[in-house]
A and B are shown apart, each in its own frame.
Chain A
Amino acid sequence: MKDSHIKNIPHNVTEIILESVSDGVFTVDKKWCITSFNRAAEEITGVSREEAIGKQCCEVFRSNMCEMNCALRRTMKSGIPYVDSSTYIVNFEKRRIPVTVCTSLLKDVKGIIIGGVETFRDMSMVEELRRELDERYQVGDIISRSKSMRKIIKILPKIANNDSTILIQGETGTGKELIAQAIHGLSPRKEKPFMAINCGALPDTLLESELFGYKAGAFTDAKKDKPGLLALAEGGTIFLDEIGDVSSAFQVRLLRVLQERTFTPLGGTKPVKIDIRVVAASNKNIDQLVKDGTFRQDLFYRINVMQLEIPPLRDRKEDIPSLVTYFINKFNKLQRKVVSGISHEVLESLMSYEYPGNVRELENIIEHAFILCPKGQIELHCLPDIVSQSSDLETSQSIDDVKKSVEAKLIISALKRHNYNRLEAARDLGMHKSTLFRKIKTLGIDLPKTDGRSKQKDFS
């Protein structure tokens, strides 16, 4: 019975097997000429069997290992088979295909070495998946794997190469200054200074002397000349943070600087020419400020050559794990501690928190945890209460209570997203507006006076 089975196996079974496997297989003789080449090898290399056979294996396989570190050569020399050496081959589209290679000796029936066998596996898919898993875009200190940030990070080099003024908008703590620094760092001005000033923190007179500097004798106690940040940033970049908080009077002075590229220091008589790149930022919606009449339209157009909108952290929560790792590494180095990571519960809490203070708040949360957990894993009790309670569902709560609280959270977040426009929020939640009104009432949700429809009311 057994013998009859063996008899039924065709004599070319090895060939059939070799043709059916998805790994590329080829054999070479002692002169490195290809003697056999299977179907998968044809597919991976893009070289047909007819063309491959008889040719030098390096000209068919075209791997970066061929010259220096050929696995098959090592095997032929030492007799030792090699398993899973990683390398890449170059195809006719000039694309690198990552492959793993296994090699062994090829012997005839008498055991005499007649060449070598190489099998190789296309790892493109695995590499792609690995890259996707690891993928996080990083420029300077900005780390992100979210789509919205990826878009920004991708265009940063182009923006940096241009000298146009940039307006960065985003909530507090989203990393506007980091973006400005990244633009400067990627620009041809990177060897020159990067100067940052928070325009909202200083009264006009102080802001003026900080930015423009002053001449000796300009005012009492001005004993010698003091260069302003504009002069210090010569050739580099100046970052004007919170530009939306600048007074109307100072906006005129800024406009002149941006238009003329000159400024006059306090007490000075001659205008000074400057060559700087201006990056402005605001956590307020400047467009709205222009509509409200508190921000000059001409200055807005001057600074708004290119606008970058940094999304808040709650809209890109996929960034939280990599940011946490980044901050843990940072604080480990800074504070010489050995915190290994965060527990699953901590990650859950961090993911469900809303982060009104954005990335800066997350950094503070990790720093807080470092004080309470100097080593090992960060546990839930190391987090500030406001965060650790964010994912808490009290066990004493009934299902109805939990449902109500989840409903309320969803409604509030939808309303916020639509600037408290009830109709839009109802559409977003997939319910009728009267259902939304009823739920707002029964759940006791407090709403601000504005309702998102705005205009009619504003003028009334």
Chain B
Amino acid sequence: MKIALAVWKNRVSPVFDSTRVVIIVDIENGIVNDKCYVHIQAHMPHNRAVELVELGVNVLICGAISRVYEDMIKMQGIKVIPFIAGDVNQVIESYLKGKLNNRNFRMPGCGNKCRKRFRGEGR
């Protein structure tokens, strides 16, 4: 399984719409098999979604994302975990442990409003 993490300066990129780099993490049996940085070329929502599909991504972890981007990516069968903030390595580690729903990884202000969305957002 491959997860993509929108990255900026070793933290989760604040807004996926303008993200330029993602880390593709290849996970096998709950262990990171491979990690690589990829420059996202496309800007338009549909093209971005297609690019993620071409990279074989199953899950996207990102910061804020506007509805149109999220819809396009979901339409391609990719699960989206939005409004995540924090250090990239810690986010990957927590995702593997199924603990990404920890408050520490929520974007500021995403408290009560996002609690429902975060339920079960581990692996």
Chain B hits for A91, CB < 8 A? 64
Picked from A48, A51, A58, A95, the residue with its CB within 8 Å of the CB of B14 is A58
Most chain A CB within a 10 A radius of its CB, from B15, B63, B111: B15
A34 to B111, CA, bound (A): 18
Taking CB as reference atom, which chain A residue is nearest B109? A47
Chain A interface mostly helix, strand, loop or mixed? loop
**A46 and B109 contact, CB distance less than 8 A:** yes
Q: How far is the CA of A66 from the CA of B14 in the complex (A)?
A: 8
Decide if B67 touches A51 in the complex (CB within 8 Å): no
A11 to chain B, nearest CB (A): 29
| Interface residue tally for chain B (C-beta within 8 Å) | 25
**A67-B13, A67-B14 in contact; A62/B20 too (CB < 8 A)?**
no
User: Which parts of A90-117 form the interface with B (CB within 8 Å)?
Assistant: 90-96
Q: How far is the CA of A106 from the CA of B43 in the complex (A)?
A: 34
Residue B107 at the chain A interface, CB threshold 8 Å = yes
Q: A40-75, CB under 8 A of B: which get 1 and which 0?
A: 000001111001100110111111111110000000
Nearest-neighbour CB distance to chain A for B94, whole angstroms, equals 17
Q: Is the CB of B15 within 8 A of A62?
A: yes
Contact residue among B18, B19, B66, B111 (Cβ-Cβ distance under 8 Å from A51)? B111
> Is B65 touching A92 in the complex (CB atoms < 8 A)?
no
Which of B108, B110, B111 counts the most chain A CB atoms within 10 A?
B108
Question: Which B residues are CB-close (under 8 A) to A95?
Answer: 66-67
Closest chain B residue to A48 by CB distance? B109
In the complex, A64 Cα to B15 Cα: how many Å? 6
Report chain A residues within 8 Å CB of B109: 45-48, 51-52, 60, 92
Query: Are B15's CB and A94's CB within 8 A?
Result: no
The total of chain A residues at the interface (CB under 8 A) is 26
Cα–Cα, bound, A55→B106 (Å): 12
Q: Are A46 and B66 in contact (CB under 8 A)?
A: no
Could you give, for residues 93-123 of chain B, a 1 whenever the CB lies within 8 Å of some chain A CB and a 0 otherwise?
0000000000000011111011000000000
Q: Report the minimal beta-carbon distance from A237 to chain B, rounded to whole angstroms.
A: 25
Query: A96 CA to B15 CA in the complex, in Å?
Result: 11
Interface set, chain B 63-101, CB cutoff 8 A to A: 63-67, 70, 82-83, 85
Q: Which A-chain residue is minimally distant from B6 (CB atoms)?
A: A67
A62 to B84, CA, bound (A): 12
Scoring A residues 196 to 210 as 1 if CB is less than 8 Å from chain B, else 0, what string do you get?
000000000000000
Q: Which of A51, A59, A65, A68 has the most CB of B within 10 A?
A: A59
Contact with A along B33-54 (1 / 0, CB 8 A): 0000000000000000000000
Known: A46-B109, A52-B109. A68 touches B65 (CB 8 A): no
Given the complex, which residues of B lie within 8 Å of A59, measured CB to CB?
Answer: 11, 14, 63, 85, 107-108
CB closest residue in chain B, given A51 = B108
Does B11 lie within 8 Å of A56, measured CB to CB? yes
Task: Enumerate chain B residues within 8 angstroms of A90, measured Cβ to Cβ.
Answer: 15, 17, 64-66
Q: Are A67 and B111 in contact (CB under 8 A)?
A: no
Contact A94 B65 (CB under 8 A): yes
Provided the pairs A66-B18, A67-B19 are in contact, do residues A92 and B13 lie with their beta carbons within 8 angstroms? no
Query: Which residues from chain B contact A45 at a C-beta distance below 8 Å?
Result: 109
- Chain A residue, CB-CB nearest to B20: A67
| C-alpha gap A61/B107 in the complex (Å) | 10
- CA distance in complex: A91, B110 (Å): 10
C-alpha gap A15/B83 in the complex (Å)? 31
Which residues of the partner chain A approach B11 to less than 8 Å between Cβ atoms? Answer: 56, 59
- Interchain nearest-CB distance for A195 vs B (Å): 31
Residues on A with C-beta less than 8 A from B67 are 93-95
Residues of A within 8 A of B107 (CB): 59-60, 62
Q: How far is the CA of A92 from the CA of B107 in the complex (A)?
A: 10
- For A61, the chain B residues whose CB sits under 8 A away are 14
Taking a contact as CB atoms under 8 Å apart, the answer to whether A94 and B18 are in contact is no
B113 touches which of A64, A66, A92 (Cβ 8 Å):
A92
B18: chain A residues within 8 A (beta carbon)? 64-68
**When the two chains form their complex, are residues A63 and B108 in contact, meaning their CB atoms are under 8 A apart?**
no
Q: How far is the CB of A90 from chain B (nearest CB, A)?
A: 4
The answer to whether A67 and B66 touch across the interface, beta carbons within 8 angstroms, is no
Residues in B with CB closer than 8 Å to A67 are 8, 13-15, 18-20
CB neighbours (8 Å) of A51 from chain B are 108-109, 111
Do residues B83 and A92 form an inter-chain contact, with CB atoms below 8 A?
yes
**B69 → chain A, closest Cβ, in Å?**
8
The 0/1 profile, CB within 8 Å of B marked 1, for residues 18-49 of chain A is 00000000000000000000000000011110
With a CB–CB cut-off of 8 A, which chain B residues contact A96?
Answer: 17, 66
Smallest CB separation, A67 vs chain B (Å): 5
Q: What are 21 sample pairs from A and B whose C-beta atoms fall under 8 A apart?
A: A48-B109, A58-B8, A59-B14, A59-B108, A60-B109, A61-B14, A62-B15, A63-B14, A63-B15, A65-B18, A66-B8, A67-B14, A67-B18, A67-B20, A90-B15, A92-B64, A92-B83, A92-B110, A94-B65, A95-B66, A95-B67
Taking A46-B109, A51-B109, A96-B17 as given, write out 16 further A-B residue pairs in contact, using a Cβ cutoff of 8 Å, ordered by the A residue number. Answer: A47-B108, A56-B11, A59-B11, A59-B14, A59-B85, A59-B107, A62-B14, A62-B64, A66-B8, A67-B20, A90-B17, A90-B65, A91-B64, A92-B83, A92-B110, A95-B66
| B interface with A by C-beta (< 8 Å) | 8, 11, 13-15, 17-20, 63-67, 70, 82-83, 85, 107-111, 113-114
